Structure 1
Amino acid sequence: LLLGALLGWITFKLMKSIDDYNIEVIITLATVMTGTVVAQYLHVSAPLAMVVAGLIVGGNEARRYAMSAVTENYVDKFWELIDILLNTILFVLIGMELLVLDLEFEFVLAGLLAIPIALVCRFVSLIIPVNLFKTRLDFVPNTNLIMTWGGLRGAISIALALGLTAEMQRELFLVMTYVVVIFSIIVQGLTVGKLVKKLRKKNVGI
């Protein structure tokens, strides 16, 4: 987080000192590439560092003081294109991995056991932020329950599992992740609307 904040601040200062959308787009790309290498060298999380840096560079303050309207448009379009390309590659890899997935009974069983654990962990992790911001953000009743059941897992979870090595029990965690993701998309995704309607009727009845 600290590395990401430092990278974001440096990027903001560099972009503020320049008024050329070509160079500013390259600066954002250099931030990601350099930050990833530095994070790996320091043995810290590159994705978390990039998230923090992105929040700073893409925030309202940076847009107001460091980017012209033209620069803002080009930076947004550039990263939207990168996002589309990487997502396309990721989904191709996910589909190919399904063909060689080792569906051992123990692995599938572990995945089924991981489903309630993942749901409970998400519910617990939401208690503090929901209660902390419920007055300011005017949350609807049962927000924690809705966000828990509506928190679908997908490509990012599988991408993280694909990044494991054999020594980290890659096959086990990959199958577990696929089971959790499939449950999330099919069961949670198809029933979250019904859950919201049921809770709404219950609250209205009260």
Structure 2
Amino acid sequence: MCIALFMTLLNVLQGENFTVLAVLQTLLYEIVVAVLIGLGFGFAILRILRGKHEMESLILTTALLACGSYLVALLAHASAPIACVIGGLIVGNKWKEILADAEIGDVNHFWHTVEGIINSFLFTLIGLELFILDLSTSLVLGGMVAFVILHLARFAANYLAFAMFPKVSKKSYNGSLTILSWGGVRGGISLALILAVANVPQLEAYSSILVGYTFIVVLLSGVVCGLGLPAVMNAFYYNPNEETQGFKGWYQRMCHKMNRKGFRYIVGEDAKGNETITIFQPEILIDQKDAEGVATVHHPDKVQEVKRLENPDNF
């Protein structure tokens, strides 16, 4: 959706006529056609996967899903990322019915390896970007301000989304809003989009500022949000090995202050290997204790609240 909107704005900057109706038509076309392409490829790939058990066939078939849907969407002038996402969601939600767990695990391992290789090239290129930037004090400070504004805007957008859908908010786990907002790490897509804008003649005079701000935001996202995300997760999910000493310990204690409700979850597995989420020290919610730590008042109604918070259908 964001990429489709970005491309629409880019066309406007390149001199195309701007009307609200034309923008809406372009967005609807890119999104609807991409969804249809993704649906078609998703169900077609599921059909092809039936009966296949050779690792090479499984990998090539999933590669066909990614590359084929992307290419067809590009040729149709639709949103290629949306087409890939829709196709992946369909296959990912249904292939457990037709493939063994070991086969799915092997395919996932292959694509995780590919992802790691691509990410290594990506961040190497991001680092090389530093050599073509004319970094100055004003540019660095502006990038830092842009980073703060960007993540405040992300938090506000997530908050509004939760407020607009109270049923989703009610079923969300403690810390979902904070983790979603903090985990908004920017990377290669942001740089690719801004480099496309920088080549527009109308913005050529501002290209160094746009690219510089984006580079600094991506860098700070990786350093601050990426490296700091485990500590934020520990504030809401119990980790017996969390840092307690030095700067990391201080940072962890600061992150714990984000958890205003005071309780945390424990992620585990049941006997069948399915993921389970339970509340760490649920007596915090159920009992009221005196100064010596002895429960003095029991709240039976809070037991149902604990069960609701541990519901596996939560978001």
Deviation track 1:125-170 (CA, whole Å, cap 9, x = no partner) reads: 3122474423323x226x4345324433345534554566622755
- 1:174 corresponds in structure 2 to 211
Q: Return 150-159 or 46-55, whichever deviates more.
A: 150-159
Aligned: 1:123 with 2:160: no
Deviation track 1:172-193 (CA, whole Å, cap 9, x = no partner) reads: 4331222212333444555854
SS in 2 for 1:58: helix
Task: Give the aligned residue type for 1:157.
Answer: S
Mark the runs of 5 or more structure 2 residues left unpaired by the alignment: 1-33, 233-251, 263-315
State the number of aligned residues: 199
Instruction: Report deviation, 1:111.
Output: 2.9
- 2:83 corresponds in structure 1 to 49
The two structures have a TM-score, normalised by structure 2, of 0.53
Instruction: Report deviation, 1:83.
Output: 0.9
| Higher gyration radius (CA) | 2
Q: 1:134 aligns with which of 169, 175, 179?
A: 169
Instruction: Report deviation, 1:74.
Output: 3.0
Is 2:198–2:211's contact at 8 Å kept on the other side of the alignment?
no
SS in 1 for 2:257: helix
Structure 1 segment 1-206 matched on structure 2, within 5 A: 1-2=34-35, 3-59=37-93, 61-65=94-98, 67-103=99-135, 108=140, 110-127=142-159, 128-129=161-162, 131-137=166-172, 139-140=173-174, 143-161=176-194, 166-167=199-200, 171-188=208-225, 189-190=227-228, 192=232, 193-200=252-259, 203-204=261-262
Is 1:15–1:24's contact at 8 Å kept on the other side of the alignment?
yes
SS in 2 for 1:48: helix
Task: Give the aligned residue type for 2:152.
Answer: V
SS in 2 for 1:152: coil
Is 1:5–1:52's contact at 8 Å kept on the other side of the alignment?
yes
Task: Give the aligned residue type for 1:62.
Answer: W
SS in 2 for 1:84: helix
Instruction: Report deviation, 1:90.
Output: 0.9
Deviation track 1:33-62 (CA, whole Å, cap 9, x = no partner) reads: 222211211222222322222222222x22
Is 1:146–1:196's contact at 8 Å kept on the other side of the alignment?
no
- Greater helix share, structure number: 1
The two structures have a TM-score, normalised by structure 1, of 0.76
Is 1:21–1:70's contact at 8 Å kept on the other side of the alignment?
no
Is 1:90–1:159's contact at 8 Å kept on the other side of the alignment?
no
Is 1:25–1:74's contact at 8 Å kept on the other side of the alignment?
no
Alignment RMSD: 3.1
SS in 2 for 1:176: helix
